[in-house]
């Protein structure tokens, strides 16, 4: 059931201030589109941060059903949770190995992407204690200058095979820093560096491309690609049309519609002042639900803010967003067009995820990962009936 259809369903009468709809069929379609684009390469599912805020369990199961067998998360805790959901999955921990925690990784069959010689040594020590090799990835620095084995450490590791004794290297990877800008010179620089590293590990699965990197061309695909934001409907590019199907819909319930006289103000800080008689509707959600305070309007700072879509029209946010409430100016709608209990679209076909991100001064990744727990979550598609987490 698309998010825009919630208002006509029985779910609209549920005692909830806002509804978050996750279309698992769209998620799977995005996964399959990437698999087609990266033909010949495996497509891993990046499901860190609760599957970018959409819920690890339903997302991981939907991807598994679509044929995904390799998953990437950020932390061992996420990996342990995912292992409980998918006992047979290959799970890589992108943030590497936390000092002193190797036992926890091994206990759940997790593969850390080792990012320093210190991490390699700790993993080797555990393998020695266990009396067997332990699988892991190796993450190399190629230009992002974040995590990754770099410089002399990389040279030492590559030139000294015994340095990896006890480590079953199943993945060699790096991460692109500017893939969202196809013409950025760093892309080619990182590609050439990674090719040289990959040559030192023949037969080992190699991975460089993230969501945007998949679109840079086959030379970036190697053996495995790691899409994240593209699975969830966010635009992986800067200044280009979004090739992904939208996955998320967000609707908030109208609590009240009231008249505000000319010269009166709305909300904290008197940030909105009525220039003539206005009608203001109040929505039952706010920054406590993860909806950014930066989307509010403020006349004192000449900040326009965000907008919603309701009854076939756009309505601007009026004043500051508070913890639990959002006010919108519905004066331009015909009187009686909306009423208490109606639902306004905050993310959906008319107000896209990327519009919300732009108006909040951030990116779609942050919007998704901030989605709160107070929404009534509704999962549709991917072989499931409408369900709530």
Q: Which residues are annotated as catalytic?
A: 48, 268
Sign of CA dihedral 38, 44, 48, 52: positive
Q: Which DSSP string do the residues of 133-148 spell out, in sequence order?
A: -EEEEEEB-SSS-SSS
Q: How far apart are CA 253 and CA 325, in angstroms?
A: 10
Crossing angle of helices 56-65 and 24-37, rounded to 10°: 50
Q: Are 265 and 271 in contact (CB under 8 A)?
A: yes
What is the spatial order of strands in the sheet that 205-207 belongs to?
42-43, 224-225, 205-207, 167-173, 134-139, 111-114, 90-93, 70-73, 45-46
Q: Are 72 and 92 in contact (CB under 8 A)?
A: yes
Q: How far apart are CA 271 and CA 294, in angstroms?
A: 13
Instruction: Pick the closest to residue 306 from 268, 359, 362 (CA basis).
Output: 359
Q: Are 272 and 323 in contact (CB under 8 A)?
A: no
Phi, psi of 324 (to 5 degrees): -120, -5
Phi, psi of 159 (to 5 degrees): -90, -10
Chain-centre distance of CA 262, in angstroms? 42
The first and second tokens of residue 331, run together, are 């004066």
Q: How far apart are CA 310 and CA 293, in angstroms?
A: 20
Phi, psi of 102 (to 5 degrees): -55, -35
Q: How far apart are CA 250 and CA 353, in angstroms?
A: 10
Q: Are 11 and 19 in contact (CB under 8 A)?
A: yes
Give the CA-trace dihedral at 165, 167, 171, 175, to 10 degrees.
Answer: -90
Phi, psi of 129 (to 5 degrees): -65, -35
Q: How far from each other are the two terminal CA atoms of the chain, in whole angstroms?
A: 16
Q: How far apart are CA 148 and CA 173, in angstroms?
A: 9
């Amino acid at each position: 059931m698309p998010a825009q259809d919630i208002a006509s369903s029985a779910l609209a009468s549920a005692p909830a201030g806002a509804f978050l709809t996750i279309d698992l069929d769209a998620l799977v379609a995005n996964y399959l589109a990437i698999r087609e684009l990266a033909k010949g390469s495996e497509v891993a599912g990046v499901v860190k941060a609760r599957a970018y805020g959409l819920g690890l369990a339903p997302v991981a199961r939907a991807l598994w059903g679509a044929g995904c067998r390799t998953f990437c998360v950020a932390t061992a805790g996420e990996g342990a949770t995912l292992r409980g959901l998918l006992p047979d999955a290959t799970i890589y921990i992108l943030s590497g190995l936390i000092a002193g925690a190797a036992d926890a990784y091994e206990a759940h069959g997790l593969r850390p992407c080792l990012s320093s010689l210190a991490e390699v040594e700790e993993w080797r020590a555990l393998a020695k204690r266990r009396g067997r090799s332990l699988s892991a990835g190796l993450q190399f620095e190629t230009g992002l200058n974040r995590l990754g084995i770099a410089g002399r450490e990389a040279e030492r590791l590559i030139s000294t095979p015994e340095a990896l004794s006890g480590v079953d290297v199943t993945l060699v990877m790096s991460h692109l820093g500017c893939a969202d800008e196809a013409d950025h010179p760093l892309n080619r620089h990182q590609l050439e560096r990674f090719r040289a590293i990959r040559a030192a590990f023949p037969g080992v699965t190699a991975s460089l491309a993230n969501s945007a990197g998949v679109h840079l061309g086959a030379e970036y695909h190697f053996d495995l690609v790691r899409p994240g934001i593209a699975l969830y409907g966010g635009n992986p590019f800067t200044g280009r049309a979004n090739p992904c199907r939208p996955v998320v819909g967000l609707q908030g319930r109208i609590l009240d519609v009231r008249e505000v006289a000319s010269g009166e103000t709305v909300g904290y800080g008197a940030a909105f002042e009525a220039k003539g008689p206005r009608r203001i509707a109040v929505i039952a959600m706010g920054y406590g639900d993860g909806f950014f305070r930066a989307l509010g309007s403020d006349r004192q700072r000449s900040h326009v803010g965000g907008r919603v879509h309701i009854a076939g029209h756009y309505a601007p946010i009026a004043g500051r967003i508070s913890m639990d409430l959002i006010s919108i100016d519905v004066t331009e709608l015909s009187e009686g067009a909306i009423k208490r209990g109606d639902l306004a679209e905050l993310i959906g076909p008319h107000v896209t995820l990327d519009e919300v991100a732009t108006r909040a001064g951030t990116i779609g990744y942050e919007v998704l990962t901030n989605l709160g727990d107070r929404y009534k979550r509704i999962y549709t598609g991917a072989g499931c009936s409408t369900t709530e987490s």
